[in-house]
Structure formats: structure tokens, C-alpha cells
């Protein structure tokens, strides 16, 4: 038995005890209500994943669900906590800030995790012929750090700081992904940051019409970011061929969670979690990142606790 398997078993046993102590979920939930999933910009994976997931929830549970176009992780977590969305996607570092009331959040938000869905990669895109070779070279340039109230802005600022570039030395037009791509094409920005599954379809389309390059984020930078923040980041590598690259490029990843409010109905969340896994193959036909969803890893959502409804699903699925 591996260490990972022992940890998984211990966690599920603890969830079973918790569920026994808290009692059963409500027997039902309102199937006439309109529910929302907080997604992201329409060019990104959050929105498209959310759209396919909403359709699956409607098919499987008979509830009315729509995906909302949002500014990303910060916006999504605020919508979920305020009841404007049932579920939302968010990066783990931004979720950590949300439950502690730090960073972009003035007060702690009552949030729980449904699943660790997949890991997202930090992508810093420049034209292939740019004289920018590393993150430090971005100082004094116009660079889109992502839309306002997005997790991209949070991570971009952390990477810049860890690379010795104060974010206020960047002229940041705060563009979403589509707008960033258009601005790079027009030569209005030197680079843009994006955090998402890779390859990101809209960046792939850009690479077909314009030669681009990804800036490396090295191990020392990842270590400095982890030391200053939530410790959820890890070093990884884009393989040769990513967006036409001729060599592998190191970068930083962060887990992506599906979250709900602490007081979301337990029965509904249990069914929503079941549907997330049952519809994985169907969603993956439209959103390849869905293939990365793995029930063995999904419960590892630190520092967020699992919602009791999600915990019930994982315990039942294992039994």
C-alpha cells in the first residue's frame, strides 16, 4: 500500500465519521430554482467547462443551471459566497485568501470545496521575436496581468514580485484573455499573463497566425512565491511543441477547485459532485481539461475543507 493510498483511506474514513456525526442530508432540494455556475471569460476553460457541466446537471438532475461569464477566481468566489452562484471555479491560492480574508478579500468567506478539478499553468506569452527573454525583462513595459478581480492578476503580481519586478513598474491594462490576445496581435502590449489548462484553445489559435513564445518561470521563483504565500504552487514544464515551441519551458502550476458555499444544500452538492464525475468523458469531448479530473486526487483541496455533500459522495463512491 502506497503512502498516497494510506492518506486517501484515512481521509475518507475521517469524512465518514464526520458525516455520521452531522447526520443525513436533506431529502431533496428545489428543482424549480435557477442555479448558476460562476465560470470566467468566454474564451477560457472555466466558462466552457462550466457550460458543459451545467448541461450535464440539467440532464442528470433536472435542474435549471446556467454558466455565468465572470472576471475569474476572485469574482467567482464572491458570487458563490453571496449566493449569486451555486458553484464556481477558483484557483487554490485565491481560495486560500478568500477563507482567511486576505489578499483581494476584506473578510473571510464561508466556502467549501467540491473537488480539485485539474492543475492550471501560468502562461506568460510574448511575440517570438521579442527581446523579452525572462520575467525580469518585463519591468517598464505594458503587460496585461489579467482582468480585474481575476486569479490571474493575483498570480501575475506574485510572480513579478518574486522575479524582482514591482507590479507598479508594469503598465497594466487589465485585459481579459481575448482582449490580451488582440492587444498582443496589434503590438499594444509586450506580453500577457494567463493561468489555465494548457494548451489553451484561444492561445493555440493565436499561435497559428503569429509566432509566440512562453517566458520561463524557474524553480527559484516558484520557491519564493511559495515561501510568501499559500504554498500550493509547484514547478512543472511545458513540453516541446507547446504553441510551436522548440524547447521545453519551465513554469508554475496551481490547483483549480470547484467550490460551493458552506451552507449549500448537502443533497444537491452530493448529486452535483456525482454528476461532475459521471459526466467527465462527455465534458472532455468539448473541454479536454476534464480528462484530468481524478477521484483519487479530487479530495486534496487544502486549505479548503470539503463540503459535507461532496464528502458524502466520496465516501459512498469508495464503499
Per residue in 65-114, pLDDT (tens digit) is: 999 999 999 999 999 999 999 999 999 999 999 999 999 999 999 999 99
Does residue 21 lie within any of the structural domains?
no
Q: What is the pLDDT of residue 7?
A: 45
Q: What is the pLDDT of residue 228?
A: 93
Q: Which helix (H) or strand (E) holds 272?
A: helix 266-278
Which of 215, 233, 254 is where one domain is finished? 254
Which of 230, 254, 278 is where one domain is finished? 254
| Same domain membership, residue 71 and residue 52 | yes
Residue 312 buriedness (CB in 10 A; 0-12 / 13-18 / 19+): buried
Question: Which residues, given as ranges, of the chain have pLDDT below 50?
Answer: 1, 3-10, 13-27
Q: What is the pLDDT of residue 44?
A: 84
Does residue 194 lie within any of the structural domains?
yes
Which DSSP state fits 149? T
Question: 265 to each of 188, 220, 282, how far by Cα in Å?
Answer: 47, 43, 26
Q: What is the pLDDT of residue 182?
A: 98
Q: How high is the mean pLDDT of the chain?
A: 91
| Same domain membership, residue 149 and residue 83 | no
| Same domain membership, residue 289 and residue 213 | no
Q: Which helix (H) or strand (E) holds 279?
A: none
| Same domain membership, residue 140 and residue 86 | no
Q: What is the pLDDT of residue 177?
A: 93
| Same domain membership, residue 101 and residue 165 | no
Which of 254, 275, 305 is where one domain is finished? 254
Paired residues of 194 in beta bridges: 123
| Same domain membership, residue 213 and residue 170 | yes
In terms of residue numbers, what domain contains 66? Answer: 32-117+257-318
Find where cell 431529502 sits. 27
What percent of the chain lies above the pLDDT cut of 70? 91
Nearest to 154 by CA among 78, 102, 215: 102
| Same domain membership, residue 225 and residue 146 | yes
For the chain, the C-alpha Rg in angstroms (whole number) is 20
Does residue 10 lie within any of the structural domains?
no
| pTM tops 0.85, yes or no | no
- In total, how many domains does the chain have? 2
Residues written for the chain:
319
| Same domain membership, residue 137 and residue 107 | no
Helix (H, G, I), strand (E, B) or coil at 302: coil
Q: What is the pLDDT of residue 10?
A: 45
Nearest to 146 by CA among 120, 119, 175: 175
Q: Give the CATH number for residue 274.
A: 3.40.190.10
Q: What is the pLDDT of residue 43?
A: 81
Per residue in 36-69, pLDDT (tens digit) is: 999 998 888 899 999 999 999 999 999 999 999 9
Amino acid at each position: 500500500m502506497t503512502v498516497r493510498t494510506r492518506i486517501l483511506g484515512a481521509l475518507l474514513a475521517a469524512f465518514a465519521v464526520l458525516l455520521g456525526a452531522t447526520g443525513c442530508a436533506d431529502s431533496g432540494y428545489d428543482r424549480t430554482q435557477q442555479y448558476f455556475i460562476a465560470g470566467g471569460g468566454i474564451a477560457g476553460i472555466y466558462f466552457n467547462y462550466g457550460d458543459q457541466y451545467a448541461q450535464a446537471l440539467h440532464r442528470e438532475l433536472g435542474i435549471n443551471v446556467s454558466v455565468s461569464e465572470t472576471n475569474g477566481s476572485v469574482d467567482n468566489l464572491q458570487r458563490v459566497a453571496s449566493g449569486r452562484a451555486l458553484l464556481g471555479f477558483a484557483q487554490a491560492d485565491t481560495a486560500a485568501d478568500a477563507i482567511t480574508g486576505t489578499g483581494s478579500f476584506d473578510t473571510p468567506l464561508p466556502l467549501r470545496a467540491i473537488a480539485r478539478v485539474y492543475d492550471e499553468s501560468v502562461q506568460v506569452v510574448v511575440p517570438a521575436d521579442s527581446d523579452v527573454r525572462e520575467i525580469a525583462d518585463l519591468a517598464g513595459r505594458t503587460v496585461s496581468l489579467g482582468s480585474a478581480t481575476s486569479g490571474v492578476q493575483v498570480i501575475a503580481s506574485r510572480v513579478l514580485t518574486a522575479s524582482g519586478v514591482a507590479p507598479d513598474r508594469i503598465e497594466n491594462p487589465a485585459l481579459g484573455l481575448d482582449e490580451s490576445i488582440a492587444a498582443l496581435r496589434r503590438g499594444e502590449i509586450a506580453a500577457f499573463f494567463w493561468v489555465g489548462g494548457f494548451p489553451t484553445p484561444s492561445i493555440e489559435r493565436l499561435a497559428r497566425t503569429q509566432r509566440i513564445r512562453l517566458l520561463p518561470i524557474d524553480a527559484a521563483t516558484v520557491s519564493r512565491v511559495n515561501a510568501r504565500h499559500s504554498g500550493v504552487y509547484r514547478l512543472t514544464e511545458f513540453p516541446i511543441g507547446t504553441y510551436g515551441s522548440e524547447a521545453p519551458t519551465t513554469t508554475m502550476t496551481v490547483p483549480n477547485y470547484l467550490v460551493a458555499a458552506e451552507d449549500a444544500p448537502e443533497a444537491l452538492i452530493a448529486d452535483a459532485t456525482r454528476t461532475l464525475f459521471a459526466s467527465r468523458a462527455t465534458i472532455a469531448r468539448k473541454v479536454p481539461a476534464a480528462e484530468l479530473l481524478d477521484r483519487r486526487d479530487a479530495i486534496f483541496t487544502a486549505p479548503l475543507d470539503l463540503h459535507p455533500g461532496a464528502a458524502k459522495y466520496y465516501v459512498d463512491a469508495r464503499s
